[in-house]
Structure 1
Amino acid sequence: MRKVIFLIVLLMVVMTGCNAFKAAKLKQKYGPVQSKVDRLVAAHAPGEISFYKDVQPILERRCSVCHSCYDAPCQLKTTCFEGIERGGTKALVYNAARLTADTPTRLHVDADSVQEWRNLGFHPVLNERDQVPVAQLENSLLNLMLQLKKDNPLPQTDLLPQTFDIRLDHEYICTTVEDFPDFKEKYSLWGMPYALPALTDEEREIIVAWLRQGARIAPKPKLSDQSMQVIGRWETFMNGTSLKERLMSRYLYEHLFIGRIHFESMPEREFYRLVRSTTPPGQPVVEINTIRPYADPGPDPFYYRFRRLERTIAVKDHTVYHMTADKMARYRELFLEKDVVVTRLPGYDPATTANPFKTFAELPALSRYRFMLDDARFFVEGFIKGPVCRGQVALNVINDHFFVVFFDPEKDTISNDTRFLSEVSDLLGIPSERKSTLRLLSTWHHYAKLQKEYLVAKEKYLMQLNPDDIGNDISYVWDGDGINPNALLTVFRHFDSASVVNGFVGKMPKTGWVIDYPLFERIHYLLVAGFNVYGNLGHQLETRLYMDFLRMEGENNFLSFLPINSRREIWADWYTDAREGAENYLDEQFRGLQRTTRINYHTDDPKTEFFHQLIAYAGKATDTHDILNRCPDDDCFDKDASPAEKRADRAMRKVANIHGLQVQALPDVTFVHVDTGKDSEDLAYTIIRNKALSNNSMLFREDRRRVPENDTLTVVKGHVGSYPNAFSRIFIDEIEDCIERYLKIKDALDYYNFAKRYGTQRNSPIFWQESDWHYRKFGNERPVEAGVFDMYRFHRIAEKSDAQFTW
């Protein structure tokens, strides 16, 4: 043992000596590392490269497609200048195995200077030694990586070389300038963009010219007077001084902190974050950097402020919340004009702040529920994207495709009885209220007991209100008040990312949820407000285990609308082959289903019948006529569709009928570009693979719960999903032949042959052309919601058996 320790220590000494030698060589050549490099200039000289005008658009389309959000390789974010100046690190954000929480490294939040980032272990990608032209290039990791790709472009072969590791959990090689010679020798093909085509000479030269001039940056233009006036009105509103105003603002902040706030009358690509600041309106924002929005901001006064988002927008963490004059009036109506007296402000005791039923007990429950319903898709999308961009912790607890509706706030007594929710608030706590540990069994038993007690209390309460044992009818479902398209939602899961769309999209799914206010609120505080992406293993597993309870509660609410004699059979189908020993646990969750329903059913498939009734009842507020996935006679078209679009729709409708084992050979998310011969009329579709599971009652080994014979496809017009796995480009005159070939795909080899003709590989010469087209198309159709798609999941095309079919 002593010998092993000695060898380890010796190795560390040798490595330290090597690193010191490399650093000494750079110091001799380019001078010492400077504690601060001032890159800010008042304005660029004539002929100089501008970061915002010239460089950022290139980084946005070529680099930020991988280097954005928490899953940016080596935490290098190219979405803004501050991310590039910060540099990279070997520390992982997504690390499910860590036993203690990590120090957060949120850009713009957890450090204010380059030196602070260096103290946190980040290494530079820009030159920080002598500020002379030769050093700006030879001591810049950004330049070295671009040059490496230029010198060693992707091989023009059918298949991407196996030397590229594009698995989600692959090990990052986060080299530094000092280690770059070794990196270059070992990984000559790993220049940037990694496993994707190189930049054009023109694009690279623009970046190189910017680096050569010192990577200098001029300030962005100041906000317009109009924007300042809008922000001023909202900050005045959010910082009212009465107890009622202050409690309302705290509630709004804890629900909107992850939102990309877009104000009416402002430019389409101008967004803000709602933050807590130590400075009042009119002064520069100084954000208080707590891990969670309900954490104690400290003893000093603070203010709710709107901080402009100064970075490239990536779809995967872009959750838009619209603020308008009507929205401000709505807040007044819900929270300020109600005949409610707020007698005190809650504190920030960690034992209670994670429980909104305690914190906001003096705000009417109906008002809170109405607030969430008004923008239900935003909040459901928050669960999906949350503060983490992606993650199986939340997503392997749900099915690949399901529908969501909500209880009507006026008829569902549970959702508007403030007194009852306050009385049971002790039963509605979530794991983030306790310090995370690895004592999962005791934690699970604790919250399982609370959930059981809550469901019992809820059923007892409802029985007292309805002693005749009569349950829900269709009017107990929220219909969007006839105008709100959030009434019906569809969730698509794509392994460890997901999407939410308005309406019921796709064929009738296996499951559905009906959400009431206490369920809605708990999911938000579990997966959004209370989730810490830097948390330890215990925190992540506790979150996943508790979400089981909430999912089943939503499913049971759905079952309560179905005939009482069919519920157990449908529920059992949802939990087929549950792990041995889980029966008692599952039975404990099968609660609140003793009352009958007032809905009349006429078929032997009440679940599907109920979905159709929901479409008829609540579909007035949203477009529920799915012409691609639910057309009974193959003659469904948009009334304004062109002949080319009708032709494409008819062909794509056949794709939506593919199901079963055949689906295994297809990617999770495919973006299809239908080339009509006229760019302005080209069409975009998304093909989504829905993978069936026998149940969601297990944490791990999802592969063992797969039921591929029940897999389906959904086809959607436009773009759905943040992480495309494949591109297909189809010319309109070939579309029927192309779709017939697609229908004949049975295995990986078939798909490989199809993709050779109609697909775009990672090393294809037209890869960036297709990527740019989808980005441009999405932006034209949805200018506020659009952003860059992440290419990190873009598949390698394999050509042999399914076992070697790398997705």
Structure 2
Amino acid sequence: MPFLKHLFVFYILSFHSLLASEYREKIQPIFDNRCIACHSCLNGPCQLNLQNYDNFARGATHKNVYDGLRIDSVAPTRPGIDAKKVVDWRKLGFYDVNQSRNLEENIFYQILGVKKLEQKDIPFKTVEESIYCIDTAEQLKLTLAQSSDLQMPYALPPLTDVERNTLGTWLANGASGPEKAEAPAVTQSQVKLWENFFNQKSEKEKLVNRYMFEHLYLAHIYFPEAPTAFFRLVRSFTQCDKEIDEIATRRANDNPHTKDFYYCLKYLDSTNVAKTHMPFEFNPKVMERMKKIFFEDKWEIPRTKTQAESYSYQSSENPFVAFHDIPVKARYQFLLDNAHFIISTFIKGPVCNGTNAVNSIQEQFYVMFIAPESDNMVRSKDFADKAQDLLVLPGVWGSDIKLKTSIELTEAIVKHREGYRKLRADETTKNFPKGYAITDLWDGKGHNPNALLTIFRHNDNAAVLKGFHGDLPKTLFFLDYALFERLVYNLVVNFDVYGNVSHQMLTRVYMDLIRMEAEEMFLSFLPPETRIPLRKSWYKGLLTEAKMKYLFPYVDGHRPTQMKYKSAQNAKKEFVEQVLFSYMKPEVTGVLDTLNVRSYSIPDKAPNKAALNASDKVLRDLASNKAVGVNRYPNFFPENSYIVVIHEKAAPEIYTIIKNREHENVSWILAESLRLAPKEDTLTILRGYYSYYPNQFFVVNDKTLVDFKNKALKVKTKEDYKKFTTEFAVSRVSDQFWPTFDLINATMKKEETIEFGYLDLSRYLME
């Protein structure tokens, strides 16, 4: 009998282990390849997130995170953070999508489509327009009896019989989840080393660690020993060698309301999606660099602040106050060293897409930085002290700003900002009476490619690239410490996607102010006589011109520049050429974009000039082509798409096609469509993966690529483009849709292992 008892226990344990392994081996791969393309992050329909089992068990809700008109803020519902158990999610309004082992009564199973869609079956509504959250089997049956539009995957080819049966068997057997995942053993020593580093007890170290946490809490941290295992830096009630009990504050700079807490590295047991994946490497060199930046120079905290004081709203939401005691030079150098990551947080951020931030920037622009030794705050503590109270940010008023006070607060923000602009102009004139020289730009110390960045906007999301990519942009962004830090806190740390309409509106207004400051700093490197005309070219329209002239007058227009130009009219072009070919080293500029650049010249002898292959040479005819006339091919392409070039005896080549929609101005929150300048639209074509929400896939082979290019050039009407896409684009209902999607994901995973995240299909064209 004891033998039979032990045999029975062994059988039960083995069966449990089989079920646990089944989820990771069979179920999550289906979710990854067919479901998280829409159901991930916060913008998944009904907040159903399928990036891991815990999120599946959490279920769905009728509540929409992205409600830009709500009068009152709502409770956060961040997966894996704001509730720890399923019962807690139910209290927050989430319902179970897996309500029965009887598949006839199971919502999750019944909503899976079985019918192959035809072109005529494609619904008119996009994913975002068709969200309908169904919480009972009866309701689902009634809905599907009236329309099959809601079957999943939405308006895409259905799962295969094998995939559907695998899910059905799993659901019928109780939908068991996996055993808790453990971080790879090879990372344990590094994890412990970094947790010790972040939990030192001196007041200086506590303040520095708080600063780094507030800038790194969105990072997917990895170690070179296991580069595809990712961690999050969190605050925990418990010590890190215990089970981590994450402190779920609304913002990263909110008071943890406990005397003792710990910074811990929490293993991320979840599939990465490209729209939120921001890897950040921790290694011994990075730690030594952090120690050097923050502790090499001697500094002290004048007095020990109480925790209540350090996290008070007057302090916490204003980084210039909260971190006043840390030398500005150290704070700024940390941002510069990691500029690509930091700026990516504005775009990918805590909200999955950057509507409030991205609505206020151009479609493509270059980003550069003032050198630390030339930064006004670094040079003068007195100036930094005078400036800090003028740099008040909307976050100090929280997430529930009353509508009736929002106008008053807007006026206060503008008043403070204008006071700072005047203060900064006077300080810059004092420090640089002859104006800025090219050496006042950060050069990455000759090796750091974070010194030059490019941002490409796609509607309400964007991509950040190291180096200058695409043709000469309309504007350039120049950031100093004050601008850089305000971007972080306005758009990331202080921003609350669950906040009310006034909070979100003031965040957008402040971003508008930051953009203008960054553009004006670039103008200060150009000849004085060109500044106002160039600024006017960025802000066209009678109402906009009046706004810029009377509300935001240019305060820094007469200071000279030490830059030398052959032609004032071509100063922007000459400036970029000087930066790329005279000032910055190849290690900083990276490979130069010969595929897209037309408006300035890349020297033949440039050591990092990209050699164009056969496909590049064909696609260059489409890239950055400033054709004359309204009806020309760039107008008809979607925001962003992928083109897959198939080769018979070589790996496929994958390019991102980005439509640069030009604007008369980006100075208003509403009516963007009325401010577009379609005559100026162009396409940028980049080898690689720079669209997280692709609108279309094109598939050609190396023999038909020339035909693709020639027919694209002839597109002049919607009918022309429809014929073009019929021949080359992959329709949502095509038998080639999932194979193409899988190919792009698989190729990206192979070529960019650390950066890889699954693409989002919620914006794919409904045609």
Q: Does 1:143 align with 2:147?
A: no
Structure 1 partner of 2:556: 592
Structure 2 CA distance for partners of 1:511 and 1:299, relative to 1, 3 Å: same
Partner-residue secondary structure (3-state), 1:271? strand
Structure 2 CA distance for partners of 1:350 and 1:600, relative to 1, 3 Å: same
Partner-residue secondary structure (3-state), 1:492? strand
Structure 1, residues 109-140: CA drift from partner, whole Å, max 9, x if none? Answer: 1111111111211111113x5xxxxx342332
Partner-residue secondary structure (3-state), 2:703? helix
Q: Are 2:367 and 2:452, in contact at CA under 8 Å, matched by a contact in 1? A: yes
Counterpart pick for 1:431 among 382, 394, 407:
394
Structure 2 partner of 1:279: 238
Q: What percentage of aligned pairs have identical amino acids?
A: 33
Deviation (angstroms), 1:619? 5.0
2:643 is aligned with what amino acid?
V
Structure 1 partner of 2:322: 359
Q: CA RMSD in A?
A: 2.3
Deviates more, 1:634-643 or 1:282-291: 634-643
Q: Does 1:449 align with 2:415?
A: yes
Structure 1 partner of 2:8: none
Q: Are 2:539 and 2:545, in contact at CA under 8 Å, matched by a contact in 1? A: no
Counterpart pick for 2:88 among 99, 116, 128:
116
Whole-Å Cα distance in 1 between the matches of residues 602 and 425 of structure 2?
Answer: 46
Q: Does 1:553 align with 2:517?
A: yes
Deviation (angstroms), 1:335? 1.2
Structure 1, residues 10-31: CA drift from partner, whole Å, max 9, x if none? Answer: xxxxxxxxxxxxxxxxxxxxxx
1:371 is aligned with what amino acid?
F
Structure 2 CA distance for partners of 1:586 and 1:689, relative to 1, 3 Å: farther
Structure 2 partner of 1:646: 613
2:27 is aligned with what amino acid?
V
Structure 2 CA distance for partners of 1:141 and 1:769, relative to 1, 3 Å: same
Whole-Å Cα distance in 1 between the matches of residues 757 and 84 of structure 2?
Answer: 26
Deviation (angstroms), 1:693? 0.5
Partner-residue secondary structure (3-state), 1:452? helix
Structure 1 partner of 2:25: 53
Q: Are 1:98 and 1:537, in contact at CA under 8 Å, matched by a contact in 2? A: yes
Counterpart pick for 1:401 among 360, 364, 369:
364
Structure 1 partner of 2:59: 87
Structure 2 partner of 1:676: 647
Q: Does 1:618 align with 2:584?
A: yes
Partner-residue secondary structure (3-state), 2:518? helix
Q: Are 2:46 and 2:131, in contact at CA under 8 Å, matched by a contact in 1? A: no
Q: Mapping of 1:483-562 within 5 angstroms?
A: 483-562=447-526
Counterpart pick for 1:230 among 178, 184, 190:
190
Structure 2 partner of 1:153: 116
Structure 1, residues 448-507: CA drift from partner, whole Å, max 9, x if none? Answer: 1101111111122223334xx311011111111110111111100100111110111011
Whole-Å Cα distance in 2 between the matches of residues 633 and 479 of structure 1?
Answer: 21
Whole-Å Cα distance in 1 between the matches of residues 14 and 321 of structure 2?
Answer: 50
Counterpart pick for 2:218 among 258, 261, 269:
258
Structure 2 partner of 1:368: 331
Structure 2 partner of 1:412: 375
Structure 1, residues 80-121: CA drift from partner, whole Å, max 9, x if none? Answer: 101111111110000001000011111111111111111211
| Structure 1: unaligned runs, 5 residues or longer | 1-39, 130-134, 798-807
Deviates more, 1:523-532 or 1:630-639: 630-639
Deviation (angstroms), 1:743? 1.1
1:62 is aligned with what amino acid?
R
Whole-Å Cα distance in 2 between the matches of residues 602 and 277 of structure 1?
Answer: 59
Counterpart pick for 1:309 among 246, 268, 273:
268
Deviation (angstroms), 1:633? 9.6
Counterpart pick for 1:758 among 728, 740, 752:
728
Structure 1 partner of 2:638: 667
Deviation (angstroms), 1:342? 2.1
Structure 1, residues 485-544: CA drift from partner, whole Å, max 9, x if none? Answer: 111111001001111101110110100011000100001000000110101000010001
Whole-Å Cα distance in 2 between the matches of residues 424 and 222 of structure 1?
Answer: 47
Across the two proteins, how many residue pairs are aligned to each other? 741
Structure 2 CA distance for partners of 1:45 and 1:226, relative to 1, 3 Å: closer
Whole-Å Cα distance in 1 between the matches of residues 355 and 314 of structure 2?
Answer: 27
Partner-residue secondary structure (3-state), 1:674? strand
Deviates more, 1:112-121 or 1:758-767: 112-121
TM-score (norm 2): 0.93
Whole-Å Cα distance in 2 between the matches of residues 698 and 339 of structure 1?
Answer: 45
Q: Does 1:296 align with 2:255?
A: yes
Structure 2 CA distance for partners of 1:580 and 1:384, relative to 1, 3 Å: closer
Deviates more, 1:743-752 or 1:657-666: 657-666
2:63 is aligned with what amino acid?
A
Whole-Å Cα distance in 1 between the matches of residues 751 and 691 of structure 2?
Answer: 15
Whole-Å Cα distance in 2 between the matches of residues 48 and 287 of structure 1?
Answer: 25
Whole-Å Cα distance in 1 between the matches of residues 276 and 755 of structure 2?
Answer: 11
Structure 2 partner of 1:801: none
Q: Mapping of 1:169-208 within 5 angstroms?
A: 169-208=129-168
Structure 1 partner of 2:7: none
Counterpart pick for 2:281 among 300, 317, 322:
322
Structure 1, residues 143-169: CA drift from partner, whole Å, max 9, x if none? Answer: 1112xx11x3312x3x553x3411644
Q: Mapping of 1:317-356 within 5 angstroms?
A: 317-343=276-302, 344-345=304-305, 347-356=310-319
Whole-Å Cα distance in 1 between the matches of residues 745 and 610 of structure 2?
Answer: 23
1:608 is aligned with what amino acid?
K
Q: Are 1:523 and 1:550, in contact at CA under 8 Å, matched by a contact in 2? A: yes
Structure 1, residues 703-757: CA drift from partner, whole Å, max 9, x if none? Answer: 1101100111101001112100000011101111121011111122111111111
Partner-residue secondary structure (3-state), 2:746? helix
TM-score (norm 1): 0.88
Structure 1 partner of 2:4: none
Whole-Å Cα distance in 2 between the matches of residues 641 and 160 of structure 1?
Answer: 48
